[in-house]
Structure 1
Amino acid sequence: MTKREREIIEILKKEPMINQNDLAGRLGISRSSVAVHITNLMKKDIIAGKGYVIREEKFVAVLGGANVDILGFPRERFKPGDSNPGSVLQSMGGVGRNIAENLARLNIPVRLLTVLGEDSHGEWILNDTSSAGVDVSHIRRDRSHPTGIYLSVQDETGEMIAAISQMSIYDEMDESYPESVLGVLRSADRIAVDTNLSEAALAYIAQNLSDRELFLDPVSSNKALRVKSIIGSFSTVKPNRIESEILTGIPITDDESLKASARWYFNQGVRNVIISLGSEGTFAARGKVMGKVTSKKVPMRNANGAGDAFTSAMLMTSLETDDIREWTINGAAAAISAILSESTINRDLSRETIKQMKKEYQIEWKNL
């Protein structure tokens, strides 16, 4: 849904009998433009019948981090301890924010729930994320802490060498924020959570939303520990190899250890397990279905954002099917599209892109 369509929907919710001339005047556009938007909303099955009855919109809520990414790329082979000529790219980031924007680019209605500082970085994130089609109306602003910043240096292959994160704004987030948006969270079809949130906020989510479809991205090995004691409250978890080893205590060395890890998650109450294995592919398990998704070798431009793209495509697919094989295949395709992009977000991500990646890179599922 476009930003203009969202503006029209908000007016129609309050005044369903408004005529198109008045609607045009309210928005400062022509009546013919309003007619086009109304027609498009009817085609999308968002508006039904006369009186502009608004159908209840199914949406994904994403609760997590939103920050500015500053990425450095060397022009040649990276030399530690030296000044490396190259390029610096600044873009918006944060696991939660990235997932939300990717979902919007896949035409999935999405609401981002996060905290931003009352500074220029926060304003930039708010405006640009909204322009991408994400509902940002429930984001909280905090004047006492700066918006989060993630500073990363890549090597010549696109792999991250070192990073520094300024995320104190999330350390101050307690249960009051998720409590303030509980109605939004409970209305969502799916809820995606990342561990940039404080332990207090994560504990509140686990206590009050474990009956919902909760998807968890542990973000990092350090932050994964925040959810170790409450992991069973999440219906779906998507750690990488190291994060999973920290959560389960099971070293991942082969297929049998992957299956043992899945059984550990199942015993805690998790229903769906997806473990990223880097260049070795992705392991996934649901019930008796366990397997790996692999692909042709991908020329890497930027590893940042691949996991976020994976999660967005996984969420999209989960709205359509319970088949975890499809979740993982589509997720891998979206991740490849992100790896091929210099930016953290591939602005060309779409369902058609996912189809193209699946075919071009021979993404396949193999049962274990």
Structure 2
Amino acid sequence: MAYRPVLCAGGCVIDRVGETADANERLYTSNIGSMRTSLGGVARNVAENLARLGIDVGLVSLVGDDLEGRRVVEESSRAGIDMSAVTLDTGATTASYTAIFSGEGELVIGLADMAIFDRIEPETIAARIAAFPATGFVFADANLPPAVLQAVAQAKGSRPLACVPVSVQKLAKLVPILAAIDILFLNLYEARALLGSAEEAEALAARLAAGPVPRGLLTLGPRGALAWDGGQVSTIAALPSRPTNVNGAGDALAGATLARLAAGDTFLAAAHCAMAAAALTVESPQTVRADLSMQAVLARYNHSQPTETIAS
């Protein structure tokens, strides 16, 4: 089957996660512990999920011309992402997110160094989208500066645009382009911030369904998600899983939803099937599961839904 291509634009990040050896961290001094690094960034993670699911996907972003930037490009290319539109900038360092956890798994401090994304030029994004097939999908995250997101909205044309806020703080950058967004993925906290309401998920989903974005997913962690499409709200149940690492579940859900849309599914069918990708991802220690495939996602979904079989 020939899938429609996807172009992703946004964050390309090195994630660093440290953990103290003792349950009680000691502030203002050195702590014995461990540190590990991995590739991150919402747009990059979504792109890798798409690539592993067999979708022709490219990434538009900026990394530093440093060891970390070259690592991002090389490893992402090996994963199947077209990185030809990712520029190595000699004047900046690759974006990074560093999180330090106590020995009991509580976040002590997080540090996001994302200044490089302010150097992305709107004209660069617009040119890449204009050259992208009109049958494709465009995905953008709110790591991009406001002017660049405006350029994405203006350049997308008839291509469906999917977006992720990344965080409550960055959500505000999507507000001016909501009318141009075709699919929105957001969590409960982001939905409450967007709507200025502390209502429960069901009420928020109903308000989202009446808003300018025609379809989307309000994700609820182990409770699954609420999907809205054509003004109607539907429940998307999470599939049974044995989680070992919940990081990356949202990126897998967004990527797999786009992958199934690229395969021709309706939005609701795509969202239901994408829950299998999220279940597979949380059972892996990796943020993007290295052995993820469309065959594995369909097998997991069909096993959980014996009365309904989705073919590749």
TM-score range, shorter chain: 0.7 to 0.9
Unaligned runs of 5+ in 2: none
Q: 2:239 aligned with 1:284, yes or no?
A: no
Instruction: Determine the C-alpha separation between the residues in 2 that align with 1:67 and 1:172.
Output: 15
Shift of 1:105: 0.7
Cα 1:207/1:296, change in 2 over 3 Å: closer
Q: Give the equivalent residue in structure 2 for 1:72.
A: 18
Which amino acid is the alignment partner of residue 133 of structure 1? G
Q: Give the equivalent residue in structure 2 for 1:48.
A: none
Instruction: Determine the C-alpha separation between the residues in 2 that align with 1:311 and 1:157.
Output: 30
Q: Give the equivalent residue in structure 1 for 2:112.
A: 165
Q: 2:187 aligned with 1:240, yes or no?
A: yes
Among 83, 88, 93, the alignment partner of 1:136 is 83
Q: Deviations over 1:148-190 (max 9, x none)?
A: 1111245778786642211100022231321342333454611
Number of residues paired by the alignment?
Answer: 306
Q: Give the equivalent residue in structure 2 for 1:324.
A: 267
For residues 293-312 of structure 1, the aligned pairs below 5 Å read 293-295=236-238, 298-312=241-255
Among 331, 346, 349, the alignment partner of 2:289 is 346
For residues 1-368 of structure 1, the aligned pairs below 5 Å read 58-73=4-19, 78-79=23-24, 81=26, 87-154=34-101, 162-185=109-132, 187=134, 189-264=136-211, 268=212, 270-295=213-238, 298-358=241-301
Give % identity: 28
**TM-score w.r.t. length of structure 2:** 0.87
Shift of 1:201: 0.2
Shift of 1:279: 2.5
Which amino acid is the alignment partner of residue 18 of structure 2? G
SS at structure 1 position matched to 2:186 = coil
Cα 1:206/1:69, change in 2 over 3 Å: same
**TM-score w.r.t. length of structure 1:** 0.75
Which amino acid is the alignment partner of residue 68 of structure 2? H
Q: Deviations over 1:96-134 (max 9, x none)?
A: 111111111111111111111100101111111111111
Shift of 1:138: 1.5
Shift of 1:295: 3.1
Shift of 1:79: 3.3
Instruction: Determine the C-alpha separation between the residues in 2 that align with 1:140 and 1:238.
Output: 27
Q: Give the equivalent residue in structure 2 for 1:41.
A: none
Quick one: higher RCO (CA 8 Å, sep 6+), 1 or 2?
Answer: 2
Instruction: Determine the C-alpha separation between the residues in 1 that align with 2:50 and 2:87.
Output: 21
Instruction: Determine the C-alpha separation between the residues in 1 that align with 2:259 and 2:26.
Output: 43
Instruction: Determine the C-alpha separation between the residues in 1 that align with 2:152 and 2:53.
Output: 26
Q: Any conservation in 1 of the 2:160–2:181 contact (CA below 8 Å)?
A: yes
SS at structure 1 position matched to 2:55 = coil
Instruction: Determine the C-alpha separation between the residues in 1 that align with 2:305 and 2:199.
Output: 25
Which of the pair is proportionally richer in helix? 1
Shift of 1:191: 0.7
Which amino acid is the alignment partner of residue 226 of structure 2? F
